[in-house]
């Protein structure tokens, strides 16, 4: 499987506090990796390094030609920061994902608009394509941001805690959609809830300052503890549930 990027002995810090230390990590085409670990363990920092928002204090990250200058990356943030009252339509927001490939000068071509139309149809947003974001339901808004992340046909899709963001009505569709997308792109999905993502991912990256790669979708509590991730299995009623310790 061709490699998309590799991290070598990489460390990152915030205000001189080491958040990630000596991380070696490799992501290949069609990987679907759940990035798990406790709060403050460095999951989001890992994504920010891949996106170039944080520079490592030590070590390197090497991208293959598909991701040079990070042009082949799609990103769904944990809490999208777009102003929903801003005068911008659904089509415009989805088109903004093309900026990943366009950089500064940014005319949208006919083929860009055609691609936006395909994404809008694929995500069931045709009825609201000309609407402002403040006219949308929660589920529709989530589809719009997913559309923005995938419009440029990325080779790597980064999802930061989509469980916080995806509403229950859209959840099944969302994970089905990810399964479909994984046929043409690698996916890195940050989550604190293994219970939800375990039936979707192919492997795990356990992040708690260090990173341990687990090459299977099945993972035991003992393995998690061995990787330094304080995660445990609990039960809600009759339902076994694998979550972080702080979960209520």
Partner 1 sequence: MGALFASITAGLAGTYIVSKRMVFLSGGISHASFGGIGIGYFAGINPVLGAAVFSILSALGIEYLSVRHKIREDSAIGILWAFGMATGIIFIYLTPGYTPNLMGYLFGSILTVTNTDIIALGIMSLILIIYFGVFYRTILYLSFDEMFARTYSVYVNIFKYVTTALVALTIVLNIRMAGVVLVISLLTIPPNIAMLFTKVYSRIIVLSVIAGFAGTAAGYIVAYFAGIPVGATIIFTLSVIWGAAKYINIVVKRSAPVKSSATGDRNN
**Which residues in this chain contact partner 1 in the complex, by CB under 8 A?**
51-53, 70, 73, 75, 77, 80-83, 86-89, 92-93, 95-96, 99-100, 102-108, 127-128, 131-132, 135-140, 148, 167-170
Contact in structure between 197 and 191 (CB atoms under 8 Å): yes
Contact in structure between 229 and 34 (CB atoms under 8 Å): no
For partner 1, the closer CB: 102 or 202: 102
Contact in structure between 243 and 234 (CB atoms under 8 Å): yes
For partner 1, the closer CB: 140 or 191: 140
For partner 1, the closer CB: 87 or 240: 87
Please count the other Cβ atoms lying within 10 Å of the Cβ belonging to residue 177: 16
Partners of residue 203 on adjacent β-strands? 33
Please count the other Cβ atoms lying within 10 Å of the Cβ belonging to residue 56: 18
For partner 1, the closer CB: 38 or 77: 77
* Least CB distance to partner 1 at residue 227 (A): 28
For partner 1, the closer CB: 3 or 108: 108
* Least CB distance to partner 1 at residue 136 (A): 6
* Least CB distance to partner 1 at residue 89 (A): 7
Partners of residue 13 on adjacent β-strands? 18
> Distance between the two ends of the chain, CA-based, in angstroms?
39
Q: Rounded distance, CA 247 to CA 231, Å?
A: 10
* Least CB distance to partner 1 at residue 161 (A): 15
* Least CB distance to partner 1 at residue 151 (A): 12
């Amino acid at each position: 499987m061709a490699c998309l990027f590799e991290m070598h002995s990489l460390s990152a810090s915030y205000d001189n506090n080491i958040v990630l230390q000596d991380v070696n990590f490799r992501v290949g085409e069609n990987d679907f990796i759940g990035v798990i670990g406790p709060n403050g363990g460095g999951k989001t920092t890992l994504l920010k390094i891949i996106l170039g928002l944080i520079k490592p204090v030590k070590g390197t990250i090497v991208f293959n030609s598909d991701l040079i200058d990070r042009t082949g990356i799609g990103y769904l943030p944990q809490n999208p920061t777009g102003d929903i009252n801003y005068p911008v339509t659904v089509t415009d927001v989805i088109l903004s994902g093309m900026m990943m490939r366009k950089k500064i000068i940014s005319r949208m071509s006919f083929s860009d608009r055609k691609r936006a139309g395909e994404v809008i149809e694929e995500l069931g947003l045709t009825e609201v394509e000309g609407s402002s974001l403040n006219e949308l339901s929660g589920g529709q808004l989530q589809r719009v941001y997913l559309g923005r992340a995938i419009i440029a046909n990325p080779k790597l899709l980064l999802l930061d805690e989509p469980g916080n963001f995806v509403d229950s009505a859209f959840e099944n569709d969302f994970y089905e959609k990810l399964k479909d997308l994984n046929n043409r792109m690698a996916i890195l999905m940050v989550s604190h809830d293994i219970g939800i993502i375990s039936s979707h991912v192919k492997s795990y990256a356990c992040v708690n300052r260090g990173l341990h790669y687990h090459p299977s979708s099945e993972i035991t509590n003992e393995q998690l503890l061995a990787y330094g991730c304080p995660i445990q299995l609990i039960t809600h009623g009759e339902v076994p549930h694998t979550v972080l310790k702080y979960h209520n």
